[in-house]
Amino acid sequence: MMEQRILDMAKAGPVAKQAQILRVTDKRFWRVIMYYTEKCREFADFSACKNLGIDETSKKGHCYLTSFVDLNMRKIMYIADGRDNKTVTEFAKDFTKHKGNCDNIINTTCDMSLAYEKGIKNEFKNSKIIIDKFHIVKYFNDALNKTLRDDIKSGLDFKSSKYIWMKNRENLTVKQEERFVQMNKQNSKTAKAYLMKISMQQIYAVTEKKEAEKQLKKLTSWMQRSRNEHMKKLAKTILNHWDNIMNYFDDRLTNAILEGLNNSIQSIKHTGRGFKNNAYLKAICYLHHGAFKVSVK
pLDDT at 59: 64
Residue 116 shares a structural domain with residue 263: yes
Examine residue 80 and state whether it is found in any structural domain, yes or no.
Answer: yes
Residue 211 shares a structural domain with residue 115: no
Residue 106 shares a structural domain with residue 175: no
Which residues lie closer than 8 Å to 214 by C-beta, 6 or more apart?
none
pLDDT at 237: 96
First-to-last C-alpha distance (Å) of the chain: 10
Please say if the pLDDT value at position 151 is more than 80.
yes
Examine residue 29 and state whether it is found in any structural domain, yes or no.
Answer: no
Residue 152 shares a structural domain with residue 91: no
Rounded to whole angstroms, the Cα distance separating 226 from 151 reads: 15
Examine residue 46 and state whether it is found in any structural domain, yes or no.
Answer: no
- pTM of the prediction? 0.87
Domain range enclosing 84 = 51-131+253-276
Per-residue pLDDT band at 60 (split at 50, 70, 90) = low
Residue 79 shares a structural domain with residue 170: no
pLDDT at 125: 95
Lowest mean pLDDT of 7-16, 182-191, 228-237, name the range: 7-16
pLDDT at 180: 94
Examine residue 31 and state whether it is found in any structural domain, yes or no.
Answer: no
H/E run at residue 281: helix 278-289
Residue 264 shares a structural domain with residue 126: yes
189-204 vs 174-184: helix crossing angle, rounded to 10: 120
Per-residue pLDDT band at 62 (split at 50, 70, 90) = low
Lowest mean pLDDT of 71-75, 201-205, 274-278, name the range: 274-278
Residue 126 shares a structural domain with residue 137: no
- In this structure, what are the phi and psi dihedrals at residue 59, rounded to the nearest 5 degrees? -95, -55
Measured at the alpha carbon of residue 225, what is the angle toward residues 222 and 229, in degrees to the nearest 5? 105
Instruction: Domain count for the chain, please give it.
Output: 2
Stretch 89-115: mean pLDDT, rounded? Answer: 95
pLDDT at 266: 79
- In this structure, what are the phi and psi dihedrals at residue 130, rounded to the nearest 5 degrees? -115, 115
Of residues 275, 295, 282, 297, the one with CA closest to residue 76 = 282
pLDDT at 61: 59
Residue 208 shares a structural domain with residue 246: yes
Please check whether residue 87 is in contact with residue 31, taking contact to mean a CB–CB distance below 8 angstroms: no
Stretch 226-246: mean pLDDT, rounded? Answer: 96
Examine residue 11 and state whether it is found in any structural domain, yes or no.
Answer: no
Please say if the pLDDT value at position 296 is more than 90.
no
Higher-pLDDT residue of 286, 16 = 286
Higher-pLDDT residue of 272, 11 = 11
Which 3 state secondary structure label does DSSP give 131?
strand
